[in-house]
Structure 1
Amino acid sequence: MNWAAVAAIYRFEMSRFFRTLLQSFISPVISTSLYFVVFGGAIGSRIDQVEGVSYGAFIVPGLVMLTVIMQAISNASFGIYFPKFIGTIYELLSAPINFLEIVMGYVGAAATKALFIGVVILVTSSFFVDLTIQHPLAMVAFLLLTCVSFALLGFIIGIWAGNFEQLQLVPLLVVTPLVFLGGSFYSIEMLPEVWQTITLFNPVLYLISGFRWAFFGLSDVPVGWSLAAIALFTSLCLTAIWWIFRTGWRIRS
């Protein structure tokens, strides 16, 4: 394993993040505050508690997952697409490093950025509601797994995309609806029975449910299912990336 190559890619990607650190910090603080004003104030005044948890606290895990997923995808997709766009990806492909080291550098940086944003949101949320994390180790594990798995998905999207518009296509038209319909701001038990069944086919539900369990001990699906779902998703993404580098699909053309 060429750790020097991994570190070089990681540092290069992170340098872009640190150049806009203030913007990266302020943006989630403002957006989180707005969510609490809108959802916590307007809806929370009508929904006092959800399964014994105040509505303001109940939406925190979903809010963290929503932002972390989108940040992981966008950072990873742009990180690998830009070298394709300007042609420097051929320098990577001709360097004495394998695809795993390339993926570790780009995905690691994207996951780190998403993790930073997730922590900022958690800290900001603590100023609005009282947060009690019943299973802190599980919370960290779910957060890290989500950052890595969706950074892998973003890496695939960045390779697939043929222009900057396509970078936003999947996150906006596919991922965002799945997150909002995956119980981010409500429990699926609040839905009619037929919609509860339909929602069970939403893979994001299992991530949000497991993450919420780490906070409050409450979940819409068993925690084991959540772990199995994220493990399966990560395995599929890794398999897809291995196939991409093996065949050169969308890289060498």
Structure 2
Amino acid sequence: MISWRSTWSIYTRELMRFLRTAFQSVLAPVLTTSLYFIVFGAAIGGRMPDLGGVDYGAFIIPGLLMLTLLGETTSNSSFGIYMPRFTGTIYELLSAPVGVAETLLGFVGAAMTKSLLLATIILVTARLFVDYSIVHPVLAVLYIMLVASAFSLFGFILGIWADNFEKLGIIPMLFLTPLTFLGGTFYSIDMLPKPWDTIALANPIVYLVSGLRWTFYGSSDVDIAVSFAITLGFLAFCVAVIAYIFRTGWRLRA
């Protein structure tokens, strides 16, 4: 049976850590997003045609939101589990009467809360630069929470795998961010010439950006069912990996 008190303790601890680094966790993404809107939305967007009937400045909002969410969720989650390993306080968690379910619910719940907060701030910031509307607001919230859950678990795995600070930043900086930029953040896959439009579909981030864009405007490069299926599949894969890690103690008890 799940101990909700243990889950709440882990959840509040992660949120407090997020609030202690509010300048880096909140202000930095907002400033970065504002710069993107100034450069791409205002300077370039005025010369770009509408994409699928959507103004270019509004078109890039889901992509910028996904760009920030993936980076911040993965980094926060990986750092949150890496530091207890680095300082040795992870043994307090391992020796406590806390199961895998409580640990995951606490970490993932905090990640979803932080992601929704960031998404809200970014959307409010975007309103200062461009007018937009969300066709499916409930689905947008659910999809953001789903993506946040998946990449929170992915960051959890990354934080356990990394044995130094350099490895902690390799995946987000060298793989996740470039894939997001190439995943249709600032353009539609349909704009690419052949065979690059087909090759782009090998990038998994394309499906995440397209899924969120569909919840905003009702249209996307990829079918929404495929986007949801890939996101759920990645979430299930991460859950299986973490269950294996806790069962075997890989890199946790070393």
TM-score clears 0.5: yes
Q: CA deviation at 1:22?
A: 4.9
Aligned-partner residue type, residue 107 of structure 1: V
Match of 1:17 in 2: 18
CA distance in 1, matches of 2:29, 2:93: 33
Gaps of 5+ in 1: none
Contact 1:9 1:106 in 2 (8 A): yes
C-alpha RMSD over aligned residues: 1.2
Q: How does 1:97-176 map to 2 (within 5 A)?
A: 97-176=98-177
Q: Where does residue 238 of structure 1 map in the other structure?
A: 239
Distance between the aligned counterparts of 1:127 and 1:5, measured in 2? 41
TM-score (ref. length: structure 2): 0.96
* Alpha-carbon distance between aligned partners in 2 of 1:133 and 1:114, rounded to the nearest angstrom: 18
Give the whole-Å Cα distance in 2 for the aligned partners of 1:34 and 1:126: 14
- Asked if the contact 1:115/1:143 (under 8 Å) is kept, the reply is yes
Distance 1:216 1:169 in 2: 34
Moved more, 24-33 or 215-224: 24-33
Partner deviation per Cα, 1:141-185 (whole Å, 9 max, x = no partner): 111111111101000000001011111110111111111111111
Is the CA contact 1:76–1:158 (under 8 Å) kept in the aligned structure 2? yes
1:80 is matched with: 81
CA drift of 1:23 comes to 4.9
Provide the aligned length of Structure 1 versus Structure 2.
253
Task: Note the alpha carbon deviations across 1:84-136, whole angstroms, 9 max, x for none.
Answer: 00001111111111122112212222232222111110111011111111111
Partner amino acid, structure 2, of 1:106 = F
Percent sequence identity over aligned pairs: 54
Query: What is the SS of the residue equivalent to 2:160?
Result: helix
Deviations 1:206-249 (A, max 9, x none): 11101101111111011110110101010100011011111111
Partner of 1:178: 179
Q: Is the 8 A contact 1:142 1:207 kept in 2?
A: no
